[in-house]
């Protein structure tokens, strides 16, 4: 056993160097660097273990030596290093070496596989050879190269802690599903346990996307994907005074009351509606050919770089609502939209809607539109209501943060 530490000392020096560099950068709060450290170490371990370059017990010996070299070191147990290898092997397409540095080198294929995961990647021969050199250094600054795809969640990927990444890798093999969980975990600040539960519930397959025609009407695929993810198919407006609306008989008056309550609680509505929305106005005046129009709510979304008009309806969805929205979008496109902005998007927010029917009729409209529904606190089951935040607490929080 005494010969094992000596045999793996070069590997310990390589990993220790990366750890020390990473700790220095991590002190600055750079999560991206920390992930790059784990990615680089995972690659180094993968190349040396999958081809039998290291014998049985290598990771145990390296872990013990690291503990001696860096007393108090945490996060580099055998299990942790296997997770680093798993992290690299499941995101090997992000390897800068594979994607550019050795683009012209002769390549060979290395099969990276274990009982749960299998990835076949063309590994440049020079990359395999360099793993054996004692002076090899893990590049923690440029080891991860972002793929040129519209779907890869760049910001969220680097914001997400390593433990969350491992939970996603272990819970889902579908690449698009992983993108979804990465975004959800960052957006909702999920704990690892909450993330695991979300994956177990197969939230990706059961996500409720708003019925829409975005893919057909938006020429930019990335823009349409963002629009699809931006809107939900149902919103909980727990600040709406149902009793006040119920006292009115005329549906147009009801809609005005609904609009007024949303405007009165506009901060909370935006928090419910999504991120990066700016309120432009209600009953926004549009005029063309001497005819006046007044859409209920108008927003601008920074992420979509587009105006978003919301038409409120207290009853069941009707096809005429799409025609009305189509007119608003045409005028906004011609008269209000700035040259650098994307075409405006329209949302019908109504009380009830048959999803299949909406998807059938909306496909023939050539402006980007979607139809969502809303519920109020009164309609939510009592058990669920008790889990909702208190409206007075939310108002106090918003007031304190002004």
**Phi, psi (deg, nearest 5) at residue 286:** -120, 140
**Which CATH code is given to the segment(s) 214-400?**
3.40.1350.10
Of 171-175, 336-340, 379-383, least confident by mean pLDDT is 379-383
Contact 112, 128 (CB under 8 A): no
What is the 3 state secondary structure string of the chain?
A: CCHHHHHCHHHHHHHHHHHHHHHHHHCCCCHHHHHHHHHHHHHHHHHHHCCCCCCCCHHHHHHHHHHHHCCCCCCCCHHHHHHHHHHHHHCHHHECHHHHHCCCCCEEEEEEECCCCEEEEEEEHHHHHHCCCCCCCCCCCCCECCCCCCCCCHHHHHHCCHHHHHHHHHHCCCHHHHHHHHHHHHHCCCCHHHHHHHHHCCCCCCCCECCECHHHHCCCHHHHHHHHHHCECEEECCCCCHHHHHCCCCHHHHHHHHHHHHHHCHHHHHHHHCCCEEEEEECCCEEECCEEECCCEEEEECCCCEEEEEEECCCECCHHHHHHHHHHHHHHHHHHCCCCCCCCEEEEEECECCHHHHHHHHCCCCCCEEEEEEECHHHCCHHHHCCCCCHHHHHHHHHHCC
What value does the mean pLDDT of the chain take? 77
Give percent of the chain with pLDDT exceeding 70: 71
Distance CA(320)–CA(317), nearest Å, equals 9
74 pLDDT band, cuts 50/70/90, is confident
- The full set of domain ranges for the chain reads 3-145, 214-400
- Calculate helix-pair angle for 58-69, 9-26, nearest 10 degrees: 50
Evaluate if residue 294 carries a pLDDT over 80: yes
**pLDDT digit string (tens) for 89-120?**
999 888 866 554 333 333 333 333 333 333 33
Phi then psi for residue 128, to 5 deg, are: -70, -40
Crossing angle of helices 355-362/319-331, nearest 10°? 50
Residue 162 tokens read as: 């390593």
The per-residue pLDDT for range 36-49, each reduced to its tens digit, is 888 988 988 888 88
Tell me the per-residue pLDDT of 241-285, one tens digit each, with 9 for 90 and over.
645 444 444 444 467 777 888 888 888 888 888 788 999 999 999
- Using alpha carbons, list the distances in angstroms from residue 387 to 189, 269, 381: 18, 19, 10
pLDDT tens across 236-245, in order? 887 766 454 4
Quick one: pLDDT at residue 63?
87
Q: How many CA atoms lie within 13 A of 209 on its CB side?
A: 17
Query: Rounded mean pLDDT of 381-401?
Result: 46
Q: What is residue 378's predicted lDDT score, i.e. its pLDDT?
A: 52
User: Which pLDDT does position 255 carry in this prediction?
Assistant: 74
pLDDT of residue 250: 40
Q: What is the pLDDT of residue 381?
A: 45
Q: Could you tell me the pTM of the whole model?
A: 0.50
């Amino acid at each position: 056993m005494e010969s094992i530490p000596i045999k793996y000392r070069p590997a310990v020096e390589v990993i220790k160097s990366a750890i020390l560099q990473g700790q220095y950068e991590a002190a600055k709060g750079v999560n991206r660097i920390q992930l790059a450290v784990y990615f680089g170490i995972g690659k180094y371990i993968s190349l040396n273990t999958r081809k039998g370059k290291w014998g049985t017990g290598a990771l145990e010996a390296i872990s013990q030596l690291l503990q001696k070299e860096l007393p108090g070191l945490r996060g580099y147990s055998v299990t942790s290093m296997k997770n680093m290898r798993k992290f690299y092997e499941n995101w090997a397409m992000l390897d800068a070496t594979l994607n550019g540095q050795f683009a012209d080198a002769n390549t060979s294929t290395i099969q990276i596989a274990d009982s749960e995961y299998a990835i076949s990647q063309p590994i440049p021969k020079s990359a395999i050879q360099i793993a054996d050199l004692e002076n090899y250094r893990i590049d923690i600054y440029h080891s991860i190269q972002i793929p040129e795809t519209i779907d890869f969640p760049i910001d969220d990927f680097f914001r997400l802690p390593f433990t969350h990444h491992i939970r996603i890798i272990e819970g889902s093999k579908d690449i698009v599903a992983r993108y979804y969980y990465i975004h959800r975990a960052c957006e909702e600040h999920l704990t690892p346990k909450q993330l695991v539960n979300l994956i177990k519930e197969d939230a990706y397959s059961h996500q409720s996307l708003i019925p829409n025609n975005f893919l057909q009407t938006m020429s930019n695929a990335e823009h349409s994907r963002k629009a699809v993810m931006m809107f939900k198919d149902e919103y909980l407006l727990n600040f709406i005074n149902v009793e006040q609306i119920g006292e009115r008989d005329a549906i147009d008056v009801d809609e005005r009351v609904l609009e007024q309550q949303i405007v009165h609680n506009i901060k909370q509505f935006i928090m419910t509606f999504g991120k990066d929305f700016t309120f432009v106005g209600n009953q926004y005046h549009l005029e063309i050919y001497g005819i006046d129009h007044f859409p209920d709510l108008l927003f601008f979304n920074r992420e979509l770089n587009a105006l978003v008009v919301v038409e409120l309806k207290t009853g069941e969805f009707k096809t005429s609502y799409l025609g009305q929205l189509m007119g608003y979008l045409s005028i906004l496109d011609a008269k209000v939209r700035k040259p650098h902005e994307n075409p405006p998007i329209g949302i019908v927010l109504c009380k009830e809607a048959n999803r299949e029917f909406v998807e059938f009729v909306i496909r023939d409209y050539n402006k980007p539109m979607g139809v969502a529904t809303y519920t109020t606190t009164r309609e939510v089951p009592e058990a669920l209501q008790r889990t909702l935040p208190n409206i007075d607490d939310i108002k106090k929080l918003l007031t304190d943060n002004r």
